[in-house]
Amino acid sequence: MKSVTPEAAHALEDLWVLDVREADEVAQARLESAQHIPLGELVARLDEVPRDRTVHVLCHVGGRSAQATVFLEAQGLDAVNIDGGIVAWYRAGLPIVTGAD
């Protein structure tokens, strides 16, 4: 499984992020341009994930996104786990949208 730091992911020009957290988590804090598909719905909604680009997968601290990354790779997609999830993203000072925004 490939992984990348939040800083390295954020620096990419063509970053496409799949957020696999639950809706209530996303409502609290999210990346503005991320596509949200909860991990439990990923199999049924696989057609919503692009096959023509690298998919960077994000969750809260990295566990669910690692599971999703392994699954996506098994389906033939180019998937990369974002280490540390949105917690590491926030701690790195990278932009997020909070529920109050």
pLDDT digits (tens, 9 = 90+) for 17-48: 999 999 999 999 999 999 999 999 999 999 99
Q: Which of 17, 31, 39, 59 is catalytic?
A: 59
Q: Is 94 a catalytic residue?
A: no
Query: Looking at the 3D structure of the chain, how many domains does it have?
Result: 1
pTM: 0.96
Domain, as residue range, for 54: 2-98
Q: What's the pLDDT tens digit per position in 80-91?
A: 999 999 999 999
Q: How confident is the model at residue 99 (pLDDT cuts 50, 70, 90)?
A: confident
Q: Number of C-alpha atoms within 13 angstroms, CB side, residue 24?
A: 0
**CATH number of the structural domain spanning residue 68:** 3.40.250.10
Residues 6 and 84: beta-carbon distance below 8 Å? yes
Query: Which percentage of the chain shows pLDDT scores above 70?
Result: 98
